[in-house]
Structure 1
Amino acid sequence: MARLGIILILLLVVTSCVRIPQDINLLQSGPGGYSCSLAGTHAAASGLTAEGFTVTTWNICKGCGRRWVEDLRLLASHSDLLLLQEARMESHLKQLLQDSDLSWSLAHAFTLEGTPVGVLTGARVMPLAACAQRITEPLLRVPKTALVSYYALDGSDQSLLVVNMHGVNFVPGSTELARQLHAVQKVVFEHDGPVIVAGDFNTWSARRMAELQKLAQRAGLQPVTFEGSPSRHFGRQLDHVYYRGLVPQHAWVTALQSSDHYPLSVTFKLDSKI
């Protein structure tokens, strides 16, 4: 009964505070095309350094914790790619991204009290292309999104595919998460080049983790092993970074208290064997 009460409260909050856009919506800081492939795109003027770039992924809890601005500013200062989940696109975040010289795209899941919320990818360079994917939570009816972005790599004729995902959560079982991962899998299969798939996958059960591992196996993705302990919920790790066609140089966890998730950071270089 206690769980039912919590669910009813959540439903009331969602109904009163949240607005869901009718169409899948991608917000961007600059010009860019809406595409889940590189077909018809042109090479960028600059790209990420193939010899070494740093990726950070963090669920920032909609900026709910104290010191999140200061913590995020520090993370942004050493990140070439910044993948955020539960990013609330308020003025503080926009200013921080601008000050950090990061272009950004937001896969708009819903609007909370007039402010767009979703997964956000910031980068030192503009994306070649980007698109949003969306799935609706069966119970709360609030969407979760994934953001697909492509970036040029300096010194290489290959492009980097980056998928920033927030996994569907408030539903028992793993069927809906499997559907969401299948949409990501399709994009990864179609990309002939290096790949990063990262974010908060809400893998709080063995069945959910098994679905993520199926995606990794089918797409030839490897998990990053981190120095330090990623945050855990129900005893399980929710945040992950998977890769293909890259070599991790250094991977670490930053134990911050301004969210209920710890940020994960990885420095990659392009695998010379591909």
Structure 2
Amino acid sequence: MLKNPPLKFIAFFVLLVAAIGGYLLYSITIFSPVNIHFSTTPNLTYHPIKKQDELICYQADQAPREITQKTFRLLVWNLHKGQDAGWQQALNRLAQGRDLLLLQEVLNTQELATQYSSRFPTALYASAFAYLQQQSGVEILSQFAPHFYCAGAKSEPWIRIPKVGAAMSLPLSNGQALLLVNVHLINFEINPTTYEEQLRTLMQLVSQHQGPLVLSGDFNSWNGYRAQIIRKVINEFGLEEVSFEQDHRLRFLGNPLDHIFVRGLNVLNATTEPTESSDHAPLLLEVELAD
């Protein structure tokens, strides 16, 4: 009589775990390689170029229009999958007067590329998984067309759900290019070895780039080990971290999760806003090309 209840409990637990695992397996689709949606107006054609580790890149067949302006206004924001009320109104307001939006946790069903096509004719969306056919990923919305773009993903070691990064290189009239790297780094890992691998894969683009650049997004830098990895990599590649006049960034144990790093750019203004439209505060940045 004493043995049957534990055996029944174990059997029930095994069946429950199997049922949950089966449901998740059925409900979640992993994209390998990363699923990329790119659009730009006027329509330019792009062809795939040699992959770098886990990055997939595409090169323009025609030369995009060069950018003559010297200053750029950016919004960097994790949208929290649109789970918080008022995110659409907040995004509309924050996007006003911006040249570039670098967004994380964007759902494909939000259709931002379509909604903002008149203001941002170029859109790069990258996702590596879908839950019940709903994708989540990162997106770059730009007023300018790139001469190449890339995306890549790395799977979370525990839950196996991939995190994604994307990049664009925008041609400037001085013969250089402005590189944008939008990251959402691995979260669930105690010993952050895969975390560093994902970051270093994206930094390959930085190592090959000679002009100005912005590296930004949700770094999930929630402990000192991750912050140390970021500092080491950033110093190695000669980037500078942007500090904010008002800093309302989401923190865990005192560590900010979102960052912006620059090279070859002068920071004119950098701030954040408190918000209830996401669990992350939006980061607002204005930069100019350094001499």
TM-score, normalization by structure 1: 0.88
- Where 2:188 maps in the other structure, the secondary structure is coil
> Which residue of 67, 72, 96 maps to 1:47?
67
- Give the superposition deviation at 1:257: 0.9
Q: Are 1:227 and 2:245 counterparts?
A: yes
Give the corresponding residue for 2:214.
Answer: 196
- Give the superposition deviation at 1:91: 4.5
Give the corresponding residue for 1:19.
Answer: 29
> Which residue of 249, 255, 259 maps to 2:278?
259
Q: Are 1:121 and 2:144 counterparts?
A: no
Give the corresponding residue for 1:239.
Answer: 258
Percent identical among aligned pairs is 30
- Give the superposition deviation at 1:97: 2.1
Q: Which amino acid aligns with 2:65?
A: A
- Give the superposition deviation at 1:25: 2.3
CA distance in 1, matches of 2:232, 2:28: 33
> Which residue of 104, 107, 123 maps to 1:104?
123
CA distance in 2, matches of 1:12, 1:239: 34
CA 194–38 in structure 1, closer or farther in 2 if over 3 Å, else same:
farther
TM-score, normalization by structure 2: 0.83
Q: Which amino acid aligns with 1:141?
A: R
- Where 1:191 maps in the other structure, the secondary structure is coil
Unmatched tracts of structure 1, length 5 or more: 1-7
Q: Are the aligned partners of 2:47 and 2:58 in contact in 1 as well (CA < 8 Å)?
A: no
CA distance in 2, matches of 1:80, 1:39: 22
For the pair shown, the structure with the greater C-alpha radius of gyration is 2
Superposed CA RMSD: 2.3
Report the more deviating stretch, 107-116 or 143-152. Answer: 107-116
Q: Are 1:212 and 2:230 counterparts?
A: yes
CA distance in 2, matches of 1:170, 1:13: 21
Give the corresponding residue for 1:175.
Answer: 193
CA distance in 1, matches of 2:160, 2:89: 33
CA 112–139 in structure 1, closer or farther in 2 if over 3 Å, else same:
same
CA 187–10 in structure 1, closer or farther in 2 if over 3 Å, else same:
farther
CA 10–27 in structure 1, closer or farther in 2 if over 3 Å, else same:
farther
Q: Are the aligned partners of 1:14 and 1:140 in contact in 2 as well (CA < 8 Å)?
A: no
Q: What is the number of equivalent residue pairs in this alignment?
A: 263
- Give the superposition deviation at 1:18: 2.1
- Give the superposition deviation at 1:99: 4.5
CA distance in 1, matches of 2:22, 2:84: 23
**C-alpha offsets along residues 32-91 of structure 1, whole Å, 9 cap, x if unaligned?**
444577978654224262x21111111101111101111111122222110011110114
> Which residue of 26, 34, 39 maps to 1:29?
39
Give the corresponding residue for 2:5.
Answer: none
- Where 1:44 maps in the other structure, the secondary structure is coil
